[in-house]
Amino acid sequence: MILYDYILSPDAYKVRLMAALAGVKLDLRAVDVHPGREHESEPLRALNPAGSIPILIDGDLILTESAAMLVYLARLAAPEWLGDGDAAGGARIQQWLSFSPRLTDHLGGARATEMLAEPGDLPALQQAGIIDLRQLEAALIERRIEGQCFLAADRPTVADIACFPYAALAPDGGVSLDPYPSIRLWMRAIRMLPGFIEMPGIHRLHELKPEPLSTETPETV
């Protein structure tokens, strides 16, 4: 299975992360997105007319939407990541998969503008990203009251992976995550998953537990 990949792309990271969690081996092809803009080149446009990364190829199957890739990987190797198959649970997962491009557009747009100096209306993108984060926070608060820490089930699903990277990288676009304790707890739960892999800007968990009597605060939450 071939993934046309970019180390700094949160959408590509979703697929790498899902594959790692599901135990699927990917053949990574690095695409020079920045500064080379290779994703807009003829050979890659032939695979994906939208000119976006990632692209997943498995035999005759060519996928250009990261949400579809997550579902494909889960169906192949980790079906428990697709929920229980009941109507409401399935719809809830689909709801978050459809929500996730808003994070890409807004928080991802702010990140590209702020970090890679690409053109964009930064304050408007940040403002739209904050509205998305507030919606995510509100949903996660409701889940916590029910005693659950993932978005769509009593365990992680593809919905969590679809929404995690752009939310976690919000600070790259100048949007703080300090006001969202439920999002931070949820991110920590994802980073604790066996097989979790990191990407630049999303660090793995180190030993964060302070000594019982230590006055020092942990590095991160």
- Binding residues for another protein (CB under 8 A): 6-8, 30-32, 34-36, 38, 114-117, 171-172, 174, 198, 200-201, 203-204, 206
Query: Which token pair is 189?
Result: 């739960």
Contact 79, 157 (CB under 8 A): no
Q: Is 67 exposed, middle or buried (0-12, 13-18, 19+ CB in 10 A)?
A: buried
Query: Which token pair is 156?
Result: 């992680």
Least separation in angstroms between CB 8 and another protein: 6
Run of H or E residues at 61? strand 61-63
* Beta-strand relationship, 27-30 and 2-5: parallel
Least separation in angstroms between CB 54 and another protein: 14
Residue 139 or 202 with smaller CB distance to another protein: 202
CA trace torsion 21, 102, 125, 129 (10° rounding): -70
Least separation in angstroms between CB 197 and another protein: 11
Residue 147 or 209 with smaller CB distance to another protein: 209
Least separation in angstroms between CB 98 and another protein: 28
